[in-house]
Amino acid sequence: MKPIVQISLDVTDIAEAVELAELAMRCGVDWLEVGTPLIIAEGMHGVRALRQRFPDTPIVADLKTMDGGWLEAELMAKAGATHVVVMSQAHDETIKCVVKAGKDFGVGVMGDNLASSCMIDGAKRLDQLGCGYIIHHIGYDERNGIAAAGGRMPSPMDQLKDVVDAVSVPVQAVGGLTLEQAIETPKYGAPLVVLGAPLTIDNDRFQAASGDIEGALRMICDQVHGYGDVAIGGAVG
């Protein structure tokens, strides 16, 4: 699989999201993600606005679905999303409903292992229930809480290779990655490179970060796209 660069639009205003998306697309980003803060603030309107502006670009709706799986996926698919996200902590039936909606509406289903008691088992379960992608995710609150208590801040890099080897579908790593770590994820067999805080989003305010974002994005896209094919997963079926 050719590596893909995805930018997470974790802002709360449609105009700002479109502006950031336009910059990202100029730099070579492949997929746009309607981040959870934008979905909470603007709902389907945010997805529709991005679909109108970028008619041919894959759009991930980061719903973090826990219940009502088929309906939530339907709403976002009809608004223009090409991918939706369901959580590993959801009931089996919810995950199955999202997978069914994905087939019904032609959208990809991404399973997020955030807060799984075992991140590897959470990823395997999502794969076995039919998710077409795995998001290996260490949460914002988890990272900051552990660090504030004096512990070592966890990173998705800690178990990324183990997750990749445990599943049969493409993996992306999310959660506090440095610029260098994000660029490195295809070397671990995770071809979906997600860019977000702190590179493009202010960590505390969910606003676009300052600095030379455009230069950084161009450099990242050039390096990630230069990897060539990435082998997918180690599990069979």
Q: What is the per-residue pLDDT across 181-220, written as a single tens digit (0 to 9) for each?
A: 989 999 999 999 999 854 565 556 555 666 777 887 898 8
| 69, part of any domain | yes
- The single-letter code of the amino acid at 233 is G
Instruction: Specify the length of the chain in residues.
Output: 237
| CA angle, residues 226, 190, 179, in degrees to nearest 5 | 65
Specify the number of domains making up the chain: 1
- The single-letter code of the amino acid at 42 is E
| 97, part of any domain | yes
The rounded percent of the chain whose pLDDT value lies above 90 is 81
Distance CA 42, CA 29 (A): 23
| 140, part of any domain | yes
| 179, part of any domain | yes
| 177, part of any domain | yes
| 233, part of any domain | no
| 237, part of any domain | no
Report the CATH number at residue 42.
3.20.20.70
| 45, part of any domain | yes
Query: Could you tell me which of 80, 88, 147, 130 has the C-alpha nearest to residue 107?
Result: 80
For 109-162, how does the pLDDT look when each residue is reduced to its tens digit (9 = 90+)? 999 999 999 999 999 999 999 999 999 999 989 998 999 999 998 999 999 999
- The single-letter code of the amino acid at 111 is G
Give the helix/strand (H/E) hosting 80: none
Domain limits for position 63: 4-225
